[in-house]
Structure 1
Amino acid sequence: MSDAQGLLCAIAATAVGVAVLAGWREHRRRRRVNPDAVGWVDWTLVQVIALVVAAIAGWVALKA
C-alpha cells in the first residue's frame, strides 16, 4: 500500500467516524427533553457529507 492509499484510507475512516458521531448527535437531538433547546448544527447534513467523502476517498484509494 502506498502512502497515498494509506492517507486516503485514513480520510475515509475519519469520515466514517464523523458520520457515526453525527448520527449519534442527531439521535440525541430528536430525543431532547426541552423541545425549545434547538441546536445550530444540521447533523443530518453533516452525516450525508461525511458519508459522501468516505465513499469518494474509499473509491479513489481502491482505484490507486
Structure 2
Amino acid sequence: KDIFGKEISRDLIGRLHALDLIATGPRAPRRGAPYTFVTTEQFLVHFSLESLRDLPDAEQLAEAGMGPAGN
C-alpha cells in the first residue's frame, strides 16, 4: 500500500501466494490483528536477488517513476 498508494486486493495477494512469492507472516495474538505477509525464497529466485537488502528503497522507486500514485 505504501509503495503503490492504494489498497492491495485480496485477489492480488492470492495470486502472489499461489505463485509462492509470499507466505503468511506473523500475526499478533490479539483479536482483530492484521494479517502480515513475508517474501519467500522463491521471490528472491524469481527476481534474481541475493537477499531483501537488494530491493530498491522508496527513494529509488520514486526516481524510477514507481512511487505512490499521484507522485
The TM-score bracket by the shorter chain reads under 0.3
- Structure ID, larger Rg: 1
**Structure with a larger share of its residues in strand:** 2
**Structure with a larger share of its residues in helix:** 1
Q: TM-score, normalised by structure 2?
A: 0.18
The answer to which structure, 1 or 2, has the higher relative contact order (CA under 8 A, 6+ apart) is 1
